[in-house]
Amino acid sequence: MKVIENKTIKENLYIEKLDNGLTVMIIPRKNVRKKYIMFGTKFGSIDNKFVLNRRN
């Protein structure tokens, strides 16, 4: 697991790449009651044109 330390704000970022290719990043915070999750993915398509479907 890779650890990136930010001394200015006194937080650590933990990064781990799983066997399935998913990268997980965790920033633990003390005295925080809520938890948040963000999910991002790289994806694409060969169908990249927008077609307006008009019906008369």
Could you give phi then psi for residue 12, rounded to 5 degrees? Answer: -115, 145
Token couple for 16? 């781990």
pTM > 0.75: no
For residue 31, what is the DSSP state?
T
The Cα–Cα gap between 31 and 42 comes to: 33
| Residue that the structure tokens 């990249």 belong to | 48
| Residue that the structure tokens 């704000």 belong to | 9
pLDDT tens for residues 32-50? Answer: 888 888 887 777 777 777 7
pLDDT tens for residues 46-56? Answer: 777 777 777 76
Domain range annotation of the chain: 1-40
The Cα–Cα gap between 56 and 1 comes to: 58
